Amino acid sequence: MLPVDGWSCLVTGAGGFLGQRIIRLLLEEEKQLEEIRVLDKVFNPQFLLEFSELKHKTKVTVMKGDILDEQLLHKACQGITAVIHTACIIDTGLHLRRETIMNVNVKGTQLLLEACISVGVPIFLYTSSLEVAGPNSYVKPVLNGHEGDLLENTWNNTYPYSKMLAEKAVLAIDGQLLRNGATIHTCSLRPVYIYGEGSILLQHEIIRALNNDKTIKRNREGAMANQAYVGNVAWAHVLALRALRDSEKAQRVGGQFYYICDDTPPHSYSDFNYELSKEWGFKLGSKIGIPFTLLYWSAFLLEIISLMLHPIFIYEPPFNRHLLTLTNSVFTLSDKKARKELGYEPRFSWLEAKQKTSQWIGTLLAQNREYLKAKAP
């Protein structure tokens, strides 16, 4: 059973796309939650205004600062019951921000874990990524992969590598005895590609298509991946947190990772973006003219050139093998374990999620109205 007395929660990456949704759900659903501390380097002013105007019992404490600030982390964790760690840098490149990404994603996680152990925080929930699992090959399909398959990303690209190291550090401390006599329980969620209103990645794709006469660049024929709506991924975090707060469930959930999907039908990334935006006049580009194998090995040559030039200056190739594999593979995952052990069920149907996201895309177009007028015949 969950404790009925008050508790508190720290959310890192709180100003981000997912972090904001998690906070809203915690405020809506967790009646015994006395305080949420929201930590991030940058906050949208509208986000802060929204919470300052809300009338609710839960105290919201805004903490602006860097995930590498050890003093700030100890202050943020003091007296906290649970931590949800979503803060990270997402990047599909090779070298450009490698040191920064490793510092934020790996060192930042380690420092936060040390702070939790030092002040006695008993619950730590980590937001990982499907890229910890793969895909590793565009010629070997993975359909409905699950946690028991022990899939592991073999790329040395900074983002998946950093998320893998951070997740291992989080899961490794599950069951450790804290100084205050409590035991820390940890688990990790691996969401698939997250979409919805406010998605920076989706916004970039829409703007890119606008610059190409509303044409979405097509992926390789037959490619397929999972996508999940941000509201459902946020809900999975709330449920995982509840499981970790339950002393009996924490014994089963602790040290585990879970894939998080929803009822969104798997698409290629290009087909998915088209499905969300077609009512606004977007279209799919023509099929890839260059044989994909040639494209893949061209990326390999660019990576070699980048490596050779690295001692002199940083050359970031326009594409790389990991990015090509990620967006052109058959790689789908199953969330059966999360449904069984966390009680996870999506709160939003595919139809609802599609409608909400498509409406948001419409607002993006309205913001670019002058641009569209200039492009009109």
- Cβ distance 226 to 232 under 8 Å? no
d(CA 140, CA 135): 9
Query: ∠ CA 201-36-88 to the nearest 5 degrees?
Result: 30
Q: What is the DSSP letter of 68?
A: T
Angstrom CA distances, 162 to 99, 108, 322, stand at: 10, 11, 14
In one-letter notation, the amino acid at residue 159 is Y
d(CA 116, CA 66): 16
CB contact set of 230 (below 8 Å; sequence gap of 6+)? 17, 18, 21, 194, 195, 196, 197, 198, 199
Two tokens, residue 250 = 């924490």
d(CA 219, CA 287): 8
The strand pair at 215-216 and 227-229 is best described as unpaired
CB contact set of 97 (below 8 Å; sequence gap of 6+)? 89, 91, 158
Q: Is the peptide bond before 141 cis (omega within 30 degrees of 0)?
A: no
Which of the residues 126, 138, 159, 296 is marked catalytic? 159
Angstrom CA distances, 300 to 167, 210, 313, 329, stand at: 28, 29, 19, 17
d(CA 252, CA 260): 18
Please confirm, yes or no, whether 138 is among the known catalytic residues.
no
Angstrom CA distances, 43 to 48, 49, 176, 178, stand at: 7, 10, 33, 32
Write out the H or E segment, with its range, that includes residue 115: helix 108-119
Write out the H or E segment, with its range, that includes residue 47: helix 45-53
Q: Which residues are catalytic?
A: 159
